Amino acid sequence: MAARDQHGSEAPGDQGFRVVGKENRKVDGLAKATGEAIYTDDIMLPGMLHAKMLRSPHAHARVLSVDTSKAEALEGVVGVLVGAELPIRYGVIPWTPDENALATDKVRFIGDEVAAVAAVDEDTALEALDLIEVEYEILEAILDPQKALVTPEPAIHEGRKRRDNISKHVDLEFGDVDAQLEGADIVLEEDYSFHSTTHAPMEPHCAVAQPNSNGRLTLWSSTQITHYVHRALSRVLELDPARIRVIQPCLGGGFGGKSDPFSLEFVVAKLALKTGRPVKMLWTREEVFYAHRGRHPMQMHYRTTAKKDGTITSVDAKLLIDGGSYSSFGLVTTYYSGQLLTGPYNFPNYRFDSTRVFTNKPPNGPKRGHGSVQPRFAFEVQLDEIANRLGIDPIEIRRRNFIGADTETVNGQRISSNGFMQCLDEVEDASDWKARHGKLPHGRGLGVAGSMYISGTNYPVYPNKMPQAGVQLKIDRSGLVTVFTGGNDIGQGSNSMVAYLVAEELGLLPTSIHVVSADTDLCPVDLGAYSSRVTFMVGNAAIDGARKLRKQIIEAVAKHWEVEARDVRLMDGTVIDLSEAARSMTHVEAFHLAEELFDTLGSTGAYNTPELGGDYRGGTIGASPAYSFTAHAAEVEVDTETGRITVLKVWAAHDCGRALNPIIVRGQIEGSTYMGAAEVVLENHDLNRFGLHSGPSLLDYRIPTSLDAPDLEARIVESIDPEGPYGAKEAGEGPLHSTIPAIANAVFDAVGIRLRHLPFTPAKVLKALRELEEQN
């Protein structure tokens, strides 16, 4: 049975923390710095073929025929694949499998996959793609989500229960929202919109498949979620999952963009089985832009009522979500768009009505702060406007509405630790808010915003009662402890986190821990790197597993020394007898004693969330064992001549519970903040009227260079969580949320304009300035 106990937030011994909270090196830092680390495209196998994908030039079309005969005849082509050979549909959410690895009936966006070729080299594969003849019947492309909402025909997905282009609709009300209109001191109602942005990880997607002579198949893939790829491969290939091994090598960034199973994984696997040779596919940067799964564009309408003192009495939201061409995580996105807004402020009454529609665009999915970054932008701008109208300081209005710790939100989410007030204090102090907000020269301004985010969710993607995170530990006679975890280290440092926790628990240095991760043959299942779940869930599982070994080691040493177990201290690789201070042994000797007593040493550890969430349909989606909290202050400069906004500095305070390694936490806060700032002023995953990407390159899609990034100052707030691993919560996604509205609110402070529609281009700034001038 999986252990589901909680471990408490304090150090395992009475000597305080020896590893946790310290600025330790990462377990893989030097391997990455020296070029030793192996990423998927670094894998080269003997006889390996190179595969390329043929993609649709049409945004919406029926595929009438695919003729690959000429391609197959080309010298050097070894295998060709079409949709009919992989007819089984998949999708990361089991209820909405609507993707095929290669088109079987229709293509639904420019870039949708149609056929694939494996050849002796990439050049030959590319040449062969030109020889494939596809006959399309072009259909009307629906690119505007408003149009998708009211246009059932042509249905982008046919054969569903719903005969329209609505992907998911959620309508939930808590309390009585409309009743608050009467008697409200202020009612504010506005439209907001969030544009399309993408992850742009530096490593393009890549997968390598190797057929094994014993009938097994190995797939290396740049995925954030090995376990779901494993399940999806088994389903689509109709192959026993026990015959498939999925390995995630070093991953060059994900941010949510590598969370879905992707067509290339199925295609290389099938081509490998078909040809009997290893097959690799590496997507070009342009293909990565079309693979997308980026942040959902949202059109949002918010109405908030409040009392004179700024107390919120109700929030009413109506959201239209552009899903793009497939479901992806859309069911969850639609819930998250409403469910995750109910803190850090108390909403006594709340309603949201969210509709996700299909359009003929690259599919949208989870990007850092899945589903909740967009509503957070809208609401924090609205709250700021309420503060302004009521003459209340923007930080003060946020304090007045603070929901508190150890409480429950209006939609039934349990809030445990909550350091939001300290986050506000930190940014108020760091930005010199009191002396500068509202007092800077025209063109310069300060803005603030707050937010919260989940540390994982108690809703596993497919319903089951097994642990959400599992680890296995093995102790070697050399003194090395190997930890096997299904967790995906995507650069966020989860393998290092596991090493720190096991080292802390066993009284070792982190260098005595070796972490093997994300290999389905070797590692217990973990649900992967998404929803900011890894530190909380894998961390708790690691402590659980290590604690069992700790007990055995202490017992063995106590028996050997003939002392009480409480007199045995494990610390920094040494075992000390507290009853007679002169006596000690190395951890290696202690391991030997334990192995003599208990036989071969090993353990398992597991974590599952407690039962959480409201008692209604969807009540568990967004219910998290702990929430992180964030407040940001941003300083901007607005050039009133050119309309250009420069984000000068962002102070980012984030409550991550106990910071297991402050350097890594700071890296997550700064990385989130810079990414959010870029979404406001630089990045736009824009499609033209045909559905063609306006600039699918890292030159045109402007992720910030070192010269564009704002100055960042991270402040770590540690509200020790009662259930987190040593009190830790998430840090990877929460800190992005506040950045965007803080910048919007700073623009208001700078020049008096309320920008409600992202991105904030110079044209929008100039238009708003002109309108303001006309009003005055």
Q: List interacting residues with other proteins (CB under 8 A).
A: 25-26, 28-30, 32-39, 41-42, 44, 123, 199-204, 250-255, 282, 284-285, 490-493, 663-664, 666-667, 670-671, 673-675, 697-699, 703, 705-707, 709, 712, 714
Q: Which is nearer to other proteins, 231 or 258 (CB)?
A: 258
Residue 54 CB, nearest approach to other proteins (Å): 19
The sheet carrying 217-221 orders its strands as: 77-82, 113-119, 49-55, 279-282, 206-211, 217-221, 244-247
Residue 325 CB, nearest approach to other proteins (Å): 24
Separation between Cα atoms, residue 683 and residue 198, nearest integer Å: 8
Residue 619 CB, nearest approach to other proteins (Å): 34
Cα atoms in the 13 Å half-sphere on the side-chain side of 135: 3
Residue 666 CB, nearest approach to other proteins (Å): 7
Q: Which is nearer to other proteins, 11 or 43 (CB)?
A: 43
Q: Which is nearer to other proteins, 200 or 315 (CB)?
A: 200
The sheet carrying 574-577 orders its strands as: 568-571, 574-577, 584-586
Separation between Cα atoms, residue 36 and residue 284, nearest integer Å: 23
Separation between Cα atoms, residue 748 and residue 447, nearest integer Å: 8
* Matching residue, tokens 């309408």: 301
Q: How many CB atoms lie within 10 A of CB 520?
A: 23
DSSP per residue over 238-279, as a string? T--GGGEEEE--B----TTTT-S--HHHHHHHHHHHHHSS-E
Residue 51 CB, nearest approach to other proteins (Å): 15
Q: Which is nearer to other proteins, 77 or 306 (CB)?
A: 77
- DSSP single-letter state for residue 295: B
Residue 704 CB, nearest approach to other proteins (Å): 8
Q: Which is nearer to other proteins, 33 or 73 (CB)?
A: 33
Q: Which is nearer to other proteins, 572 or 589 (CB)?
A: 572
Q: Which is nearer to other proteins, 79 or 201 (CB)?
A: 201
Rg (CA), the chain: 27
Residue 607 CB, nearest approach to other proteins (Å): 24
Residue 203 CB, nearest approach to other proteins (Å): 5
Separation between Cα atoms, residue 165 and residue 341, nearest integer Å: 26
Per the document, the length of the chain is 776
Q: Which is nearer to other proteins, 520 or 739 (CB)?
A: 739
Residue 506 CB, nearest approach to other proteins (Å): 24
Q: Could you give the 3-state DSSP secondary structure of residue 267?
A: helix
* Matching residue, tokens 């990034």: 709
* Matching residue, tokens 């002796």: 120
Q: How far is CA 138 from the centre of its chain?
A: 35
Q: Which is nearer to other proteins, 23 or 599 (CB)?
A: 23
Separation between Cα atoms, residue 656 and residue 665, nearest integer Å: 8
Q: Which is nearer to other proteins, 349 or 673 (CB)?
A: 673
Specify the amino acid at residue 732: G
Q: Which two tokens stand for residue 222?
A: 């740049």
Q: Which helix (H) or strand (E) holds 335?
A: helix 330-339
Residue 668 CB, nearest approach to other proteins (Å): 8
DSSP per residue over 382-446, as a string? HHHHHHHHHT--HHHHHHHTB--SSEE-TTSPEE----HHHHHHHHHHHTTHHHHTTTSPTTEEE
Residue 731 CB, nearest approach to other proteins (Å): 12
Backbone angles phi, psi at 164, to 5 degrees: -155, -165
Residue 32 CB, nearest approach to other proteins (Å): 3
* Matching residue, tokens 């020394």: 561
The sheet carrying 133-138 orders its strands as: 106-107, 61-67, 133-138
Q: Which is nearer to other proteins, 139 or 678 (CB)?
A: 678
Q: Which is nearer to other proteins, 177 or 652 (CB)?
A: 652
Q: Could you give the 3-state DSSP secondary structure of residue 299?
A: strand
Residue 63 CB, nearest approach to other proteins (Å): 29
Q: Which is nearer to other proteins, 551 or 649 (CB)?
A: 649
Q: Which is nearer to other proteins, 705 or 776 (CB)?
A: 705
Q: How many CB atoms lie within 10 A of CB 34?
A: 8
Residue 368 CB, nearest approach to other proteins (Å): 10
Separation between Cα atoms, residue 642 and residue 96, nearest integer Å: 46
Phi/psi region, residue 406 (left: phi>0; alpha: psi -120 to 50; beta: rest), is: left
